[in-house]
């Protein structure tokens, strides 16, 4: 035993040699060189490009890029799908990119959706930013549009990537919590970096809880350029708009779904494609002429700012359809490698300091994650355009190069391959004039941290504002350090005083002594309707409706609604206590798709209860069935009932609803549709489908009285 103790002590002494000196006062490089700034990369002028000579930036990003093996440092949990893209009309006026010229051409794509913070085994429905990365396999080479479902980002300069991710990942001492920002180090980071304010408003909104990848917007985030054949450039931002509309889950739903089905979004995407409900997204661009670069209240290169669509409209230029699931998850979804530097002629970069760092970081990351410099030869990454260069050898080389030539110029290979000219399709960088002193600095407009956060807050509906406040209560309420909680209240007092007061109420912090707030500096208006989800009304295509039934159900009522739902493109599942064959009151039969153990209201968009006295009386005794209804009501979902099914709603305990007593369908302002005598002329099916189109019925939240 003494020998074991000696060994343990020796090991502890050995480990002690590698412990960081907690008394070190100054930040240094890995070589011990003290650094004077770790927030801003070295640039050629305040708004110029990042300089390659910035050794601190490169060292910091390189180390960060290689911190996780083999999974991605961020965006580790992903889902992928194949498809194609078609442009609506030639965009010759704006760009020379060939895949944006011919409406008859289908450009193959592979899209990877992802969460950002969690590890590969985390749940899909956590509160987080979602990645939306698209690889276009164009005739000119691969083009990667690597974006998110939120149009802005946490930080203004890529130098801060490691700090941000270190703060939001599980805390260093105990590796807790997983896939969550609700902890001290992240909110300490936020409180010390006011440039986060706008992004935090998005992350705590419903946008961070997408109902489906098929119902989620995508944004390029950074500022890029279109360049036409004449060399004229325009600043652009990219947009993806889902054809099914933009819809989210509620926070309570996401937590329950994480237990019932942690693969909820992944499964939804896979099943939709297998069933032929192919996800579709319109592709759009915002464009700013170069002469208008400085005509805005914000800096258009600032990645924490969006370009309000009322001021810079989106031009919708094409559509993407995802129509095929991967054959092998690892070979395709896991091994796909995206990089913002993968571009084609007609698309170029701006001096956006976040983008400048991403151009370096993504390639650097792939080198270690995929085992060396030949990851482009993995089938999912291989371009359709032919590859011909003098790169040789390295880990996992798959190309068998013939001959002696591996350099240029040469005579042994007839001078091939040789550089191409612009007329021969070569990429030519946009000729931007760049000059300035080497400096670590931001332009003055970058220092406006709060006005667009206030614009976002002003643009929310009342339910959306309440969800943001509750999200603050959850996230910041989990922070142990009171000074951090107080710092968040004080920080967001700069956005809106009333918001800060509401935050303080739920996190055991003091309300601000003086109510603050930021003016919205936009020239035209104080709100932007495009920022709210709740202004959108859409079809019910691919929505999932739960039908609760037991033996003795009304087969005629079920079949009538199921036929109407299928015609509208929706899907219905029969839910019962046991997964078995159910017998109807008319003597017909149907198979239950799921039981209450494997299904829950949080996994469906609406709930329907058919008639049949025996079925309804049985379900009145099933706590699961009653809870199913109550929970759907709590989450503001459409609920329908016909015939005796109305009695189950009445007995379930939901309040404030006037149920139908006549032969015509009644839909209340709370989205509950009922009819006592269903028939061809009752109008129930149409009214229920209209209620589903609304997605949620937020009036219920005003006076929530439901035992769920």
Catalytic positions, please?
75, 148
Reduce the secondary structure of 592-638 to three states and give it as a string. CCEECCCCCHHHCCEEEECCCHHHHHHHHCCHHHHHHHHHHHHCCCC
Strands 280-289 and 78-87: unpaired
| N-terminal to C-terminal alpha carbon distance within the chain | 57
DSSP state of 34: B
Return d(Cα 156, Cα 145) in angstroms, integer.
19
- Say if residue 135 is exposed, middle or buried (CB neighbours under 10 Å; 0-12, 13-18, 19+): buried
How many CB atoms are located within 10 Å of the residue 484 CB? 22
Return d(Cα 659, Cα 204) in angstroms, integer.
36
3-state secondary structure of 688: helix
DSSP state of 531: G
Return d(Cα 468, Cα 474) in angstroms, integer.
10
Give CA separation, 14 vs 6, 7, 31, 405, in Å: 12, 10, 22, 51
Query: Are 322 and 329 in contact, with CB atoms under 8 Å apart?
Result: no
Largest interatomic CA distance in the chain: 92
Return d(Cα 223, Cα 514) in angstroms, integer.
37
Token couple for 448: 């406006």
Token couple for 195: 């440039």
The residues near 679 (Cβ < 8 Å, ≥ 6 apart) are: 663
Return d(Cα 672, Cα 515) in angstroms, integer.
40
Return d(Cα 304, Cα 302) in angstroms, integer.
5
- Say if residue 385 is exposed, middle or buried (CB neighbours under 10 Å; 0-12, 13-18, 19+): middle
300: Cα within 13 Å, side-chain hemisphere: 24
């Amino acid at each position: 035993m003494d020998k074991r103790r000696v060994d343990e002590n020796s090991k502890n002494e050995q480990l002690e040699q590698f412990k960081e000196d907690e008394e070190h006062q100054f930040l240094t490089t890995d070589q011990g060189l003290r650094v004077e700034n770790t927030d801003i990369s070295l640039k050629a002028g305040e708004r110029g490009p990042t300089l390659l000579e910035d050794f601190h930036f490169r060292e910091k990003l390189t180390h960060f890029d290689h911190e996780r093996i083999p999974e991605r440092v961020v965006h580790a949990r992903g889902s992928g799908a194949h498809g194609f893209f078609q442009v609506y009309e030639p965009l010759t006026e704006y760009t020379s990119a060939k895949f944006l010229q011919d409406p008859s051409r289908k450009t193959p794509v592979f899209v990877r959706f992802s969460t950002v913070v969690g590890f590969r085994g985390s749940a899909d429905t956590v509160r987080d930013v979602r990645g939306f990365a698209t690889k276009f396999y164009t005739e000119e080479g691969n083009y990667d549009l690597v974006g998110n479902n939120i149009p802005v980002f946490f930080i203004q300069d890529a130098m801060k990537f490691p700090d941000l991710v270190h703060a939001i990942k599980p805390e260093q001492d105990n590796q807790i919590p997983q896939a969550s920002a609700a902890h001290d180090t992240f909110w300490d980071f936020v409180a010390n970096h006011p440039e986060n304010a706008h992004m935090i408003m998005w992350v705590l909104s419903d946008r961070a809880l997408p109902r489906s990848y098929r119902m989620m917007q995508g944004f390029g985030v950074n500022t890029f350029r279109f360049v036409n054949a004449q060399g004229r450039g325009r600043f652009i931002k990219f947009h993806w708009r889902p054809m099914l509309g933009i819809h989210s889950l509620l926070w309570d739903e996401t937590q329950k779904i994480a237990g019932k089905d942690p693969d909820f979004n992944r499964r939804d995407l896979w099943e939709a494609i297998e069933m032929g409900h192919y996800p579709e997204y319109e592709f759009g661009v915002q464009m700013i002429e170069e002469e208008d670069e400085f005509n805005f209240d914000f800096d258009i290169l600032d990645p924490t700012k969006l370009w309000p669509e009322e001021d810079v409209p989106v031009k919708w230029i094409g559509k993407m359809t995802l129509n095929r699931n991967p054959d092998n998850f690892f070979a395709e979804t896991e091994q796909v490698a995206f990089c913002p530097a993968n571009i084609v002629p007609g698309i170029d970069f701006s001096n956006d300091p976040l983008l400048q760092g991403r151009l370096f970081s993504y390639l650097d990351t792939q080198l270690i994650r995929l085992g060396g410099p030949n990851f482009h030869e993995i089938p999912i990454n291989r371009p359709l355009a032919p590859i011909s260069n003098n790169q040789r050898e390295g880990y996992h080389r798959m190309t068998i190069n013939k001959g002696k030539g591996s350099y240029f110029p040469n005579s042994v290979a007839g001078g091939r391959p040789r550089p191409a000219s612009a007329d021969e399709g070569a990429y030519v960088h946009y000729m931007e004039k760049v000059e300035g002193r080497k400096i670590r600095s931001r332009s003055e407009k970058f220092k406006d941290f709060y006005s667009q956060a206030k614009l976002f807050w002003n643009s929310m509906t009342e339910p959306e504002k309440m969800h943001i406040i509750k999200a603050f209560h959850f996230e910041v309420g989990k922070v142990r350090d009171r000074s951090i909680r107080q710092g968040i209240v004080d920080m967001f007092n700069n956005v809106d005083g009333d918001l800060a007061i509401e935050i303080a109420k739920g996190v055991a912090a003091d309300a601000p002594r003086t109510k603050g707030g930021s003016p919205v500096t936009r020239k035209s208006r104080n709100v932007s309707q495009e920022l709210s989800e709740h202004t959108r009304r859409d079809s019910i295509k691919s929505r999932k409706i739960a039908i609760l039934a037991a033996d003795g159900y009304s087969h005629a009522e079920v079949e009538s609604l199921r036929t109407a739902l299928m015609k509208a493109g929706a899907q219905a599942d029969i839910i019962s206590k046991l997964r078995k064959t159910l017998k109807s009151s008319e003597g017909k039969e149907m198979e239950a798709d799921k039981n209450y153990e494997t299904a829950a209201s949080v996994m469906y968009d609406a709930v329907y209860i058919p008639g049949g006295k025996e079925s309804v009386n049985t379900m009145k005794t099933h706590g699961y069935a009653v809870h199913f209804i109550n929970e759907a009501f709590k989450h503001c979902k459409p609920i329908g009932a016909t015939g005796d099914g109305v009695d189950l709603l009445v007995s379930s305990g939901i309040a404030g609803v006037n149920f139908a007593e006549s032969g015509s369908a009644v839909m209340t302002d709370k989205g509950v549709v009922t009819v006592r005598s269903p028939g061809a002329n009752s109008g129930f099916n149409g009214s229920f489908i209209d209620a589903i189109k609304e997605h949620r019925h937020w009036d219920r939240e005003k006076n929530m009285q439901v035992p769920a």
